[in-house]
Structure 1
Amino acid sequence: MTPLTPQELDAIALSLKVAFWATLFSLPPGILAAHALARWQFPGRQLLNGLVHLPLILPPVVTGYLLLLTFGTRGPVGAFLQETFGLVFAFRWTGAALAAAIMAFPLMVRAIRLSIEAIDPKLEEAAGTLGASRPWVFATITLPMMLPGVIAGAILAFAKAMGEFGATITFVSNIPGQTQTLPSAIYALLQVPGGEAAALRLVLVSVVIAMAALLLSEWLSVRAARRVAGR
């Protein structure tokens, strides 16, 4: 095994950057969507549930193409963001973060939703009868008790974002140093003669990062669960 090249290190660093921002910005809407699906009854609830899980069902290339149509420089949202805020997603690392966030969103929401559904609603109702407002009940009772699910969902989303390929390459292409993430770099290396050894190095890096994320998720979830239980 030879040392990683600067281009390979750039791909790893970009993947970590993309996964970090994808997880950070998807966490607040993920908590909101999970809480809405677990606790609220409203018209269109099943539609919201379907939209949340749609990236799991659609081919990733389709998701990437829809992102390109919507957030591209000529798309309705992309053109508005570029003209108003100077924010460009297409063929930029920001677009890779957006694609990764959308593809990882269902996993995050599902983990958080299961954690919320495990909380006894009577605890929240009891706090409400004592005069606590809904935001205060959520902040002091619901959020601390669902913390293990939030941690697990965030780390699983991070791991998923690290491995996202189909939607990313469709939306932002595979530009070395700009949009070439770890999966894109592996794909590019497999397309050239003699690139198998370098691809194998990056595959091993991907496995190590994914396993580390899963083990960290389990460890943090257990610690959070013990803290909630007061042990």
Structure 2
Amino acid sequence: MTDAPADTAKAAKPIVPVALLALAAAGLWASSRMTWVTVHSADGLTEPRTDELDGATWFGALTPLALVLVASIAAVFAVKGALRQLLGVVVAVVAAVAAVPGFALVVGEGRTAERAGTLAELPVRAVVSGADAHVGPALLSIVAAVLALIAGVLLTRRTDGSSQLSGKYDNPVFRRADASAEVTKQREETGTAAPLSDRVLWDALDAGTDPTDTAEGQDGDDKSTGRAP
């Protein structure tokens, strides 16, 4: 009676979403440390200047979003049911936000040079002569965001097995039947006159079954086997 819940609990552990979240967080963190844009500028007075903008500079929320995904890994094990589904929605939203800057850079939004000049904090007289976008780190952030999105979708889904198992053990009819079967089993193993264990007594009382009623256990046993009492 106790093996099925244990096996189902092991199977219900969110191993895949947690692994995807870990990979997504690592991807966003690595992308935030890579160079996204190289901006070239000149002010007419000094040598031309070259600045490299990493992911954390290009999109300031990239590192915090990676930390949010790390925190969500711990939250997955701390919550269950509807709260875990809500967590999945939050993770999906974070993934969507994390994918925006990388996607904009890859497709080319037409304002890369202007934005690069602003983020590089160039002197007022400096003029941006060119900006080179590095697609690799941007693609890495997109892949990480997709992994986080998949993890969020998986977290929002509730497995049928866990729902059916929960429904069965929340149903008083099944609980009483299991308690009666446990009482009958122990009486057959130890003898009717032998005292029942504390665990069996408490389980039976919690299920609304009288563990001292031998007739009830016998009737339940006869009904389950199809024999006349």
* TM exceeding 0.5: no
Bigger strand fraction:
2
The higher relative CO (CA closer than 8 Å, separation ≥ 6) is in 1
* TM-score, normalisation: structure 1: 0.29
Q: Which has the higher helix share?
A: 1
